[in-house]
Amino acid sequence: MKVENPTSRDIADLAGVSQATVSRALRNSPLVRQETREHIQQIARELNYFVNRNAARLRTHQSNTLALLLFDETGGNDAQINPFFLSMIGYITRSAASMGYDVLVSLQQLTDDWHVEYQASHRADGLILLGYGDYVSYREKLDALAAANTRFIIYGPIVKDQPGHSLGCDNETGGRAATEHLINLGRKRIVILGDTSKRHPEFASRYFGYARALQQAGLELDQDLKIHADNTEEHSVEAMQQLLRSGRSFDAVFAVTDVLAIGAMHALADAGLHVPVDVSVVGFDDLPRAAFVTPALTTVQQNIREAGEGLVKAIAGLIEGKPVESIQMAPKLIIRDSCGAKK
C-alpha cells in the first residue's frame, strides 16, 4: 500500500478502475458513480496522493496562479517594500486562496524586462501590479504587457488612455477631504508636499483635491506652498528644511503620503515647531506606523482589505473573460492628533 510518489495510475491500479476514472473521481465529476468516487478518494487519501499540478496545468492551459508584482522603489539597493503595499499582500493572498488561486510574489525593478514572461511562460494566468511607480517610466512596460495580451490590473489611479485596468482609491476626493479638514480647523496657509507632477497621477489627483478645496473656501492657491519631494522620508525632511529656511509662512502641511508626512513632522520638530499647535500635518495612506508616531498622524486611509480583495476579484474576472471595469474606492479621513482637531 506504500507508493513513493503516487500517480493517478497507481490509484487506478489499486482501485481496479481506469486512470481516466480516477481523474474524474478526484475532480468530483458527477459522471462517476458515487460509490466508485468515494472508493477512489479514499485510496487517494490513504496514499497521500495529490494531483501533479504541472501535468494538470499543461493539459488545461491554466495555472490557477496569480503573479503579484511589486515595483521595487529602492532601486535594488534594498528589498524593503513600501509598507502600504506590503500590508496588502495578506489580503490578496487570502482572497486568492479562497478563489482557488496560488499567488506568486516578485519584486520588479524598472530596469527589468518584466511582466510579459509570467503569463507567456504559463506560470501565472494574470498579474497584479503594486507600487507607487513613476507612471511615465512604467508606461512603456504597460504597453508591452498590453501588446502581449497579458491580463493585468494595477493598484493605482485610472489614467486616461493607459492600457489595462486599475483599481485605486478616489485620490481627488481624499485630497479634498484632508484639505477641507485643515481649512475647517482654521488653517489658511496649507503646504502641499510631494511629487504632484504627472509622473505620479495619484499624487497629482490628491493635489487637485487640495486645490479644489482651497478654491471652494475662497483661499488663494499659492504656488509657493507647493513643495516638491520624492517619496522618501529623507527627501521630505530636506524639502521641509528648505521651506523653513525660505521663511515662507505656513500653518499646515498636507503631505501626499504618510512617508512624507512623517518626514515633515521630524523636520518641524527639529526646527522647534510644535505639531499640531504651530503646524497641522495630514498624510495619506494610513500606514501601520501612522498610529504610532507622536503626535499620531491624521491621514487619509485607503482600505487595503477592500483593495486586496478587489484586485483579486478583478483579475479573476479578467481571467474568466468577464467584463471588468476600473474601480475607484472611497477614501476615509482618519482623524488623530497631528491636525489639532482633538483638544
Partner DNA sequence: CTGAAAGCGCTTACAG
User: Which residue is it, cell 518641524?
Assistant: 268
Of DNA, its own copies, none, which one sits near residue 246, judging by CB under 5 to 8 A according to partner kind? none
Of DNA, its own copies, none, which one sits near residue 21, judging by CB under 5 to 8 A according to partner kind? DNA
Of its own copies, DNA, none, which one sits near residue 116, judging by CB under 5 to 8 A according to partner kind? its own copies
Q: Is there binding between residue 38 and DNA (CB under 7 A)?
A: no
CA distance 207 to 175: 6
Query: To the nearest whole angstrom, how small is the minimum distance from the Cβ of residue 53 to DNA?
Result: 8
Show contacts with DNA in window 214-253 (CB under 7 A): none
Of its own copies, DNA, none, which one sits near residue 186, judging by CB under 5 to 8 A according to partner kind? none
Q: Which is nearer to DNA, 3 or 136 (CB)?
A: 3
Q: Which is nearer to DNA, 12 or 279 (CB)?
A: 12
Residue 317 C-alpha cell reads as 474576472
User: Which residue is it, cell 468530483?
Assistant: 28
Query: To the nearest whole angstrom, how small is the minimum distance from the Cβ of residue 120 to DNA?
Result: 9
Q: Is there binding between residue 330 and its own copies (CB under 8 A)?
A: no
Of DNA, its own copies, none, which one sits near residue 7, judging by CB under 5 to 8 A according to partner kind? DNA
Q: Is there binding between residue 48 and its own copies (CB under 8 A)?
A: yes
Q: Is there binding between residue 3 and DNA (CB under 7 A)?
A: no
Helix (H, G, I), strand (E, B) or coil at 141: helix
Q: What are phi and psi of 16, to 5 degrees?
A: 70, 30
User: Which residue is it, cell 476626493?
Assistant: 173
Contact 341, 185 (CB under 8 A): yes
Q: Is there binding between residue 52 and DNA (CB under 7 A)?
A: yes
Query: To the nearest whole angstrom, how small is the minimum distance from the Cβ of residue 237 to its own copies?
Result: 14
Q: What are phi and psi of 168, to 5 degrees?
A: -160, 180
Q: Which is nearer to its own copies, 105 or 219 (CB)?
A: 105
Of DNA, its own copies, none, which one sits near residue 36, judging by CB under 5 to 8 A according to partner kind? DNA
From 324, 327, 319, select the one nearest 101 (Cα to Cα).
Answer: 319
Q: Which stretch binds DNA (CB under 7 A): 27-35, 166-174, 210-218, 246-254?
A: 27-35
Peptide bond into 295 cis (omega under 30): yes
Interior CA angle at 232 toward 335 and 256, to 5°?
Answer: 40
Long-range CB pairs of 321-327 (<8 Å, 24+ gap) are: 324/153, 324/165, 325/165, 326/158, 326/165, 326/166, 326/167, 327/166, 327/167, 327/168
Amino acid (1-letter code) at residue 88? M
Q: Is there binding between residue 44 and DNA (CB under 7 A)?
A: no
Q: Which is nearer to its own copies, 57 or 189 (CB)?
A: 57
From 261, 136, 133, select the one nearest 192 (Cα to Cα).
Answer: 261
Q: Is there binding between residue 56 and DNA (CB under 7 A)?
A: yes
Q: Is there binding between residue 103 and its own copies (CB under 8 A)?
A: yes
Q: What value does the CA radius of gyration of the chain take, rounded to a whole number of Å?
A: 26
Helix (H, G, I), strand (E, B) or coil at 250: coil
Q: Which is nearer to its own copies, 192 or 260 (CB)?
A: 260
Amino acid (1-letter code) at residue 114? W
Q: Which stretch binds its own copies (CB under 8 A): 28-36, 85-93, 153-161, 166-174?
A: 85-93
Peptide bond into 331 cis (omega under 30): no
Q: Is there binding between residue 53 and its own copies (CB under 8 A)?
A: yes
Binding site for its own copies (CB under 8 A): 48-55, 57-58, 63, 65, 68, 70, 78-81, 83, 86-87, 89-91, 93-94, 97, 102-107, 116-117, 120-123, 148, 262, 288-289, 292-294, 305, 308
